[in-house]
Amino acid sequence: MESFDPSELPELLKLYYRRLFPYAQYYRWLNYGGVVKNYFQHREFSFTLKDDIYIRYQSFNNQSELEKEMQKMNPYKIDIGAVYSHKPNQHNTVKLGAFQAQEKELVFDIDMTDYDDVRRCCSSADICSKCWTLMTMAIRIIDRALKEDFGFKHRLWVYSGRRGVHCWVCDESVRKLSSAVRSGIVEYLSVVKGGQDVKKKVHLNEKIHPFVRKSINIIKKYFEEYALVDQNILENKESWDKVLALVPETIHDELQREFQKSHSSLQRWEQLKKISSKSGTWLECEIMLQYCFPRLDINVSKGINHLLKSPFSVHPKTGRISVPIDLQKVDQFDPFTVPTISSICHELDVIPTNEKEKGEGEAESDSKPRTRNYKKTSLAPYVKVFEQFLENLDKSRKGELLKKSDLQRDF
């Protein structure tokens, strides 16, 4: 894959926004079928330009306006905000207090840095295949709950481009939820609690909630390979003392003795299971949850006016595109094979000249073909995942409209 050089970003972004960004699909998503008047026009976009110049309250009347502005500004980062009561770019002309955030997708932000106390391979912004399993488990756990416990249908999972994942829940009813309800949903989905000073962050009582039980079942599928082999969390005294800090004092010394006699994380985990089962606690599950359960940024989810990085934005440090994740292939998703802006721009150069000229000639007369160049690059399969998500949104919307017209006919 073409290596990414941040100094080339300004030139690469020009090419990306001119010939590769999937504008038609992007507009189709945020316009939501044009069912609600001015829905797209009242949406806030925020652009971060070179040297961290930050422009909030951008808004556009249509796809063409959005395209022109993005190609003029070439933003280093795009964030999406709420749908407001008025056009965000006119917010200064609205009388004080009248400009209000009214709707937004329910969003979740899961960042690998929040797991630094429990991963041994990397820290801060770094990730590797050994810790990426945390994101795989997070997607599986949160997505199952959103779908089965809450009945949310339209969930778009997106790789952030560096060290995390985002989820956009786009059902019509969800976009209307109040901040209080959003907080309640995040609270339901939170199990690991307490800041850096709190050692034991998971406490289970006798009756385990079905959500927690189902989450443990998902973690169990990954735990041995992830925690005991890849992370080797009981490898030596320094690492197992962190685990023993979570166990009741009554069995602490016995475990310490047994751990010293054992030769691997796998053996030590078996000892822990055996000894903790005698004490009648949920210790095994509490440790699994503390080491593997998703850690959500509550503030991102509860605020309606909170901005979140847009799908298909480019990460300025890694050059990776923020791409949708196929829920059918979560276990196969590899952040290190996600295309960089360098690689897809290079792939454009490889397109035979006659095809390229044809594409560019058409673009003058019609805005659609200019977005088709991505089909010739490794961005194509990710746009396809996005299109499948949009298909399902469209079907659902048509179903709702049919239902409404049938009800009206009944009257």
pLDDT tens sequence across 366-382: 444 444 689 999 999 99
Lowest mean pLDDT among 82-86, 207-211, 396-400: 396-400
Mean pLDDT of 134-159: 98
pLDDT at 143 over 90: yes
pLDDT at 387 over 90: yes
Q: What's the pLDDT band for 281 if we cut at 50, 70, 90?
A: confident
pTM given for the model: 0.93
Token pair of 96 as six digits: 């004080």
Contact 304, 82 (CB under 8 A): yes
Identify the pLDDT of residue 399. Answer: 84
Give which of 266, 212, 267, 257 is closest to 237, Cα–Cα: 257
Q: What's the pLDDT band for 410 if we cut at 50, 70, 90?
A: low
Q: How far is CA 339 from the centre of its chain?
A: 17
Contact 46, 60 (CB under 8 A): no
Three-state SS at 246: coil
Contact 46, 375 (CB under 8 A): no
Q: Is 268 left (phi over 0), alpha (psi -120 to 50) or beta?
A: alpha
**Nearest 10 degrees: CA dihedral of 139, 340, 66, 393?**
-30
Three-state SS at 236: coil
Cβ neighbors of 326 (< 8 A, separation 6 or more) are 333, 385
Question: Residue 84 is inside which H or E element, if any?
Answer: strand 77-84
| Helix (H) and strand (E) counts in the chain | 15, 8
Contact 18, 382 (CB under 8 A): no
Identify the pLDDT of residue 352. Answer: 60
Catalytic residues: 44, 109, 111
More confident residue, 265 or 352: 265
Q: What is the mean pLDDT of the chain?
A: 92
